[in-house]
Amino acid sequence: MAGNWKMYKTPTEAADFVKALAPQVKDVHDKTMLLCAPFTALQKLSDAAVGTNIAVGAENLYWEDEGAFTGEVSAPMLKAVGCTYVIIGHSERRQYFGETDATVNKKLFAALKHNLLPIICVGETLAQREGNETFKVIETQINGAFQGVTNSHWTSIIIAYEPVWAIGTGKTATPAQAQEVHAFIRKLLPKDVANDIRILYGGSVKPENVKELMGQPDIDGGLVGGAALKVDSYLKLIKY
């Protein structure tokens, strides 16, 4: 269950979240708990998470290790502040910051090179869904993102299906709609690894709908924005 905090939380707020959460989830062994935070909060967040079963991730990275790239942050820098995961190609990055399948692919390889587990996001817009383009869009995004990926890489990769029309809108894909796309994505993956790859659903996941969504055979977890900002709510997502 991955929280995507987006542009929320100062370092202190991030650390306080973990301090409140950790004692309540110390006996959770059957789920991966991950909090993805803004760059500025990562050091304090991972310091607070030391000795807990909570993992820390970033929300983006740049593909070069270092250099004259003002404002960017690299995979080795994320590793140095305790990240083990990184979200790549979130729809907000695609929509507002020019992310493309080609840049997603470069970032994926940068993450893999430095042993960061990449969470690759794909998903269609409302216009694309209404135009019956969902499967074509998803296939293009998957093919673009994973170009050049070989079998040794696949088990480190996590995919998140996030229909853009369901993100932050309160509109969730129905479990059947989500399952249909998850199954489609799994079919696009190499057969020998497909069942081992975790495919997360994202888009208005909340305590009220988490159980039904996670009950679908091809949904392996969630990527959650709004409902992961408060400890009580995140805890309900873990203990559904």
223 binds ligand PGA (CB under 6 A): yes
- As a whole number of angstroms, the distance between CA 192 and CA 187 comes to 11
Catalytic residue among 59, 99, 124, 162: 162
190 binds ligand PGA (CB under 6 A): no
- As a whole number of angstroms, the distance between CA 78 and CA 38 comes to 11
Is 92 catalytic? The answer is no
Catalytic residue among 59, 90, 92, 182: 90
Residue number with CB closer to ligand PGA (59 or 66):
59
- Answer for the pair 189, 120: CB distance below 8 angstroms, yes or no: no
DSSP string, 212-236: HHHTSTT--EEEESGGGSSHHHHHH
At closest approach, how far in Å is the CB of 27 from ligand PGA? 26
Tell me which residue of 64, 94, 85, 82 sits closest to 11, measured CA to CA.
Answer: 82
43 binds ligand PGA (CB under 6 A): no
Stretch that binds ligand PGA, among 11-19, 47-55, 141-149, 224-232 (CB under 6 A): 224-232
At closest approach, how far in Å is the CB of 225 from ligand PGA? 3
Spell 33-42 as b/e; 16+ CB within 10 A means b.
bbbbbbbebb
Residue 81 phi/psi, 5-degree rounding, is -105, 20
Quick one: which of 58, 224, 234, 240 contacts ligand PGA (CB under 6 A)?
Answer: 224
Is 90 catalytic? The answer is yes
At closest approach, how far in Å is the CB of 224 from ligand PGA? 5
The continuous run of DSSP H or E covering 4 comes out as: strand 2-4
At closest approach, how far in Å is the CB of 115 from ligand PGA? 23
Quick one: which of 167, 173, 181, 213 contacts ligand PGA (CB under 6 A)?
Answer: 167
105 binds ligand PGA (CB under 6 A): no
Residue number with CB closer to ligand PGA (153 or 198):
198
| Number of residues near ligand PGA (by CB under 6 A) | 13
- As a whole number of angstroms, the distance between CA 101 and CA 79 comes to 24
- Answer for the pair 160, 142: CB distance below 8 angstroms, yes or no: no
CA dihedral 175, 56, 93, 204 (to 10 degrees): 30
Q: What mask of x and - would describe binding to ligand PGA in positions 3 to 42, judged by CB under 6 A?
A: -x--------------------------------------
> Which residues are catalytic, by number?
90, 162
Binding residues for ligand PGA, per CB under 6 A? 4, 162, 167-168, 202-205, 223-227
